[in-house]
Amino acid sequence: MATNKRVFTLRLSDEVFDKIGILATDEHRSMTNYIEYVLIQHLEQIEKERGEIKTDQIQ
């Protein structure tokens, strides 16, 4: 099944990369999936605190 997702590159130090890898393994996720999961959780937390982030206002 095709997905419509944007892709971008992260520049991480080896230490940060390795730490994310350890956490991803602990959660039985790929690194990409873990990073996506963490970012989504963070967005949900921010929106809970501040309200919805309106994407229709992006220029």
pLDDT of residue 58: 62
pLDDT of residue 2: 72
How far apart CA 22 and CA 17 sit, in angstroms, is 9
Structural domain for 24, as ranges? 14-47
Q: Is residue 9 part of a domain?
A: no
pLDDT of residue 1: 65
pLDDT of residue 59: 57
Q: Is residue 3 part of a domain?
A: no
**Which residues of the chain are modeled with pLDDT < 70?**
1, 57-59
> Structural domain tally of the chain?
1
pLDDT of residue 32: 94
Cβ partners under 8 Å of residue 6, min gap 6: none
Ramachandran bin of 51, using left for φ above 0, alpha for ψ from -120 to 50, beta for the remaining angles: left
Q: Is residue 53 part of a domain?
A: no
pLDDT of residue 45: 98
Q: Is residue 37 part of a domain?
A: yes
